[in-house]
Structure 1
Amino acid sequence: MLRGLTVKFSRRDFIKFAGSSLAIAGCSPTALASCTTKPRHLALSNLHTGEELEVCYFDGLSYLNKELARIDNLCRDFRVNQVHPMDKNLFDIISLIQSALGTNAEVQIISGYRSPETNQALRSMSSGVAKKSYHMLGQAIDFRLDGVNLKLVRDAAMELKAGGVGYYPRSDFVHIDTGPVRHW
């Protein structure tokens, strides 16, 4: 019996524990659906269009295509009003980040899908836009969690090792994608 014993964990320790718990269970973030039967909910907003959405995109057994289509619309390239299917694993990664951080804060989307034309236009204005961006495939999202320290979001995303993680503190967002594991 360990009466009076207090154990304190840092956020980093908690994130490591959450990530290792998935690994122990044999669950990669990109295979989350087969590892848990909990429904997944997200509150999302698009900062450019002002649109908001609360959605349950996974009901505990399967992904809900109608709800994923609503997310795709919210993540559309607003500059040309073009919708493209987003990789559902991005939203599973965001759900895992929220779980690791113990929050269900609103996901504020800065950029989801980008058409090749939009990507090229953004590249002409910034060296930080990749020529073959995963945004053009619907496999990347730039976001922040409302009221959550951006470094914590980045650390949680990196700990998952589920794809690319970019950290943009001056622009106040984190980039995640479902490409190879890397960070910048």
Structure 2
Amino acid sequence: MTSDSQAGLSRRALLGAFAATALTAAPTFSKAAGFLRGGGDIRRIRMYSGRTGERIDMVYWIEGKYIKDACKEITHFMRDWRNDLHMDIDLRTIDIMTAAHNLMDVSEPYMLLSGYRSPQTNAMLRSRSRGVAKNSLHMKGQAADLRLASRSVGQMARAASACHAGGVGSYSRSNFVHMDCGVVRSWGG
């Protein structure tokens, strides 16, 4: 009986060690930001611009690594279309957009209304609308104004807010949602 008992302990010890190793070695999102849990091993962004007529549909992240050339294309796509200036887009914003898109379970691309804004463009828009922030995160490449034909502003805002990862502004009258990678907050209606 001693040998069976020792074998049982050995099996138990072996299984315990295996389980601990598997948990330690397995990729986990438990320490990642909440919005990344829905990101998956492959992240893909789909957008089009009504202003330039351009479209983008690309994988920009695979198994923990951003694809440099894809990120450059995203930066170019999200440039200030008024003066063709650009700034590197903060990829946290793209991750939030992607996670929100996945949560809404849509295949339709986002319509990008505004990505990066030069200080000149921001000042011009601010002079025309009180809804434009003086120190807008658009000027840092950290924000996007987006629309989906198949989802309401409320649905988009709820999906973005569920990411718990940045600012979400609802602009129901203008039919778009602002997403950024700044401090977690929300506004509008």
TM-score, with structure 2 as normaliser: 0.78
Instruction: Find runs of 4+ consecutive structure 1 residues off by over 4 angstroms.
Output: none
In the alignment, structure 2 segments of 5+ residues that lack a partner are: 1-28
1:69 to 56, 68, 72: 72
1:109 aligned residue: 112
For the residue of structure 2 that corresponds to 1:127, the secondary structure is coil
Deviation at residue 157 of structure 1 after TM alignment: 1.1
In the alignment, structure 1 segments of 5+ residues that lack a partner are: 1-23
Alignment of 1:55 onto 2:55: no
Letter in 1 for 2:76: N
Alignment of 1:139 onto 2:142: yes
Letter in 2 for 1:59: I
Alignment of 1:92 onto 2:95: yes
For the residue of structure 2 that corresponds to 1:82, the secondary structure is coil
Alignment of 1:27 onto 2:29: no
For the residue of structure 2 that corresponds to 1:114, the secondary structure is coil
Partners of 2:34 and 2:181 lie apart in 1 by 10
Partners of 1:161 and 1:115 lie apart in 2 by 27
For the residue of structure 2 that corresponds to 1:128, the secondary structure is coil
Question: Cα gap change, 1:61/1:180 in structure 2, threshold over 3 Å: closer, same or farther?
Answer: closer
Partners of 2:40 and 2:129 lie apart in 1 by 42
Larger Rg: 2
User: Would the aligned equivalents of 1:105 and 1:148 in 2 still touch at CA under 8 Å?
Assistant: no
1:179 to 163, 182, 189: 182
1:78 aligned residue: 81
User: Would the aligned equivalents of 2:39 and 2:98 in 1 still touch at CA under 8 Å?
Assistant: no
1:44 to 41, 44, 47: 47
2:17 aligned residue: none
Deviation at residue 124 of structure 1 after TM alignment: 0.4
User: Would the aligned equivalents of 2:96 and 2:181 in 1 still touch at CA under 8 Å?
Assistant: no
TM-score, with structure 1 as normaliser: 0.80
For the residue of structure 2 that corresponds to 1:40, the secondary structure is strand
- Count of residues in correspondence between the two structures: 159
Partners of 1:115 and 1:65 lie apart in 2 by 23
Question: Cα gap change, 1:67/1:112 in structure 2, threshold over 3 Å: closer, same or farther?
Answer: same
Deviation at residue 36 of structure 1 after TM alignment: 6.2
Percent identity, please: 36
Partners of 1:135 and 1:110 lie apart in 2 by 11
Partners of 2:34 and 2:72 lie apart in 1 by 21
